[in-house]
Chain A
């Protein structure tokens, strides 16, 4: 009895040990075949709260690697994407970036997906002197440039989005607005810019409401704005709350007060979820979202249409503007690798001096003073019409 019992225990213990060993050994999943591949590191929020960003970014990046390798790589080197999921968690993101740098020794990193996570790794990129092309929006990621030597970003800054929006309001004679922002990094950064730039455009903010990313009801905020006498309401969020804002706006019959959404609303899925309710919603969007609406001679038309075709063919789903960030960062990284090879410092210098790079989100002009390279002119004001985007006049 005793003996058998013991053996069973030992058996169980050793099985547990085996599992642990297996897990440890499984950790390094590097591809060692082929010539000397050029590595590109990537950290996206594929799961967790910002997975709506990370998922299309991951798919886009993987698709581009396939395309490039199918064409024989760059300069005869296959491209290898080393991608980690940070689960929308700053700590994990920090760990993942260091892992890319120390273990995988990548010459360049794209991502992270969110502003928070990007800010959590800025110091890492600086400390290890590795070029990092963030896909997130916050201007703090690349400013002050003096301490952001190695960091770039491809998402337009919120100040451009707000600028575009305020331009439009100015043109329409809107001077009093209510804003409602989600209490995440995305919403907070938008709110900051909305408040900061308002007076430059002669706009008064008469209501400033906030809500949580998982809130189920926004009528309280909307009611308050309706009472405030605002001529327009700006909602700044992503995810279900962006849809709830539209539905609430429609339910409260607030059509007299124009609803502006942030660029975070730039996904066809949201339009589907809103149904008819979204008619007339205004938002500034990058051209990647409105590719088919662009004139044929627009410089971005070709890259955008190619991306849309390839992505939709491969994944059977519409593109989102977030995937476009991955496209831009990935192609910038590829261009750098092609031009200067896998050398961190040279890649950084190359990126900083890139001009007229035609991407999904605009035509990038980087400089030592500007690590974003976009302006508000890279956005279009879009209105929802018949369940689709249309350029607003």
Chain B
């Protein structure tokens, strides 16, 4: 019998939780970008992740691209989907209520899912790991190199987005659109273009997440909904619109699930994450990192 200590198991759960959590965080960030610029929650975000994975499979396995070009091509293809969503759907419904927006994006996600089913069928697909297959066993803890890739991709994206939104003129302009669209137009910011870009950007990030996780989790046409749900949870828990909050909340959800599966009950792990989420909502409705100050300012 293996003598694997308590500590190793703990680490293993933590590692699993962080990997899954990083994925949730990436999905949550996708929600946040669009929310930041438009205050729309795009329920098709999960489908972007699914499409990212499947497009990468298409470019890598079917077209024979090497991994990096396949990655980029998949991201571009999904960004194009985001563009279509904004240009031909969202823009048509600019004055819709929160509820109709939710339903419009749900309907679009049904379309994407249906389309993916027709194109790729119902089987799961795999993608080789970015570097080296198999895993490293370290003190009884198995580390998948791909998990490190997922973390790296998440970290890079969060860092890039933070820099983008804090340093670049365009990033700040996007925030300005979210803060006060009318004033943004007045200072000459093309608000529509910014919205358009936000959809492409968030689709691209979703796609990047999809490509990064496919080597670990496989990908099939109906994977999007659950990822979208968990990502939405992370986005709300972190405070809508907060990138850092999304990262922390995503990791928290992932860890909560993993530890619950490890120490409490694997069947109830999703429920535990959701109960946490509900408690957070009931007692801190603006999310863990949604600042009350900013929320207060937003209303004026």
Contact = CB atoms under 8 A, between A and B. Distances in A.
How big is the B interface, by class?
A: 35 or more
Q: Specify which of B23, B122, B135, B266 lies most central, judged by the most chain A CB atoms within 10 Å of its CB.
A: B266
Contact of A224 (B23, B135, B262): B262
Contact of A253 (B13, B137, B216, B258): B137
B4 interface: yes
Contact of A220 (B124, B134, B216, B262): B262
B126 interface: yes
B266 A244 contact: no
Interface stretch (A94-102, A210-218, A369-377): A210-218
B218 A217 contact: no
B129 to A, nearest CB: 10
A37 interface: no
A229 B9 CA distance: 13
Q: What's the dominant secondary structure at chain A's contact region? A: helix
Contacts of B259: 220
B186 interface: no
A251 B144 contact: yes
A149 interface: no
A34 B121 CA distance: 34
Contacts of B110: none
Most buried by B among A49, A219, A221, A250: A219
B20 A216 contact: yes
Given A51-B122, A251-B144, A269-B123, A223 B1 contact: no
- Which residue of A52, A214, A275 has the most chain B CB atoms within 10 A of its CB atom? A214
A243 B15 CA distance: 20
Nearest to B1: A229
B226 A227 contact: no
Q: Which residue among B17, B19, B124, B227 has the maximum number of chain A CB atoms within 10 Å of its CB?
A: B124
B82 interface: no
B213 A227 contact: no
B81 interface: no
A183 B259 CA distance: 18
Interface in A224-261: 224, 226-227, 229, 239-240, 243-244, 247, 250-253, 256
Contact of A221 (B117, B216, B261, B270): B261
A226 B262 contact: no
A51 B213 CA distance: 23
Contact of A183 (B12, B17, B126, B267): B267
A55 interface: yes
B197 to A, nearest CB: 29
Contacts of B47: none
Contacts of A223: 9, 12-13, 16, 262
A49 B223 CA distance: 10
A250 B135 CA distance: 8
Contacts of B19: 217
Contacts of A253: 135, 137, 142
Contacts of B126: 243, 273, 275
Contacts of A224: 9, 261-262, 266
A217 B9 contact: no
Nearest to B222: A49
Contacts of B124: 239-240, 243, 273
Nearest to A180: B266
Interface string B15-41: 111011001000000000000000000
A40 B246 CA distance: 54
Contacts of A229: 1
Interface in B180-223: 213, 216-218, 220, 222-223
Nearest to A257: B2
Q: What 4 pairs across the A-B complex have the smallest Cβ distances?
A: A251-B135, A220-B261, A216-B217, A210-B267
Given A216-B20, A217-B258, 13 more contacts: A216-B217, A216-B227, A219-B12, A219-B13, A219-B15, A220-B261, A224-B261, A227-B4, A240-B218, A240-B220, A253-B137, A275-B126, A275-B133
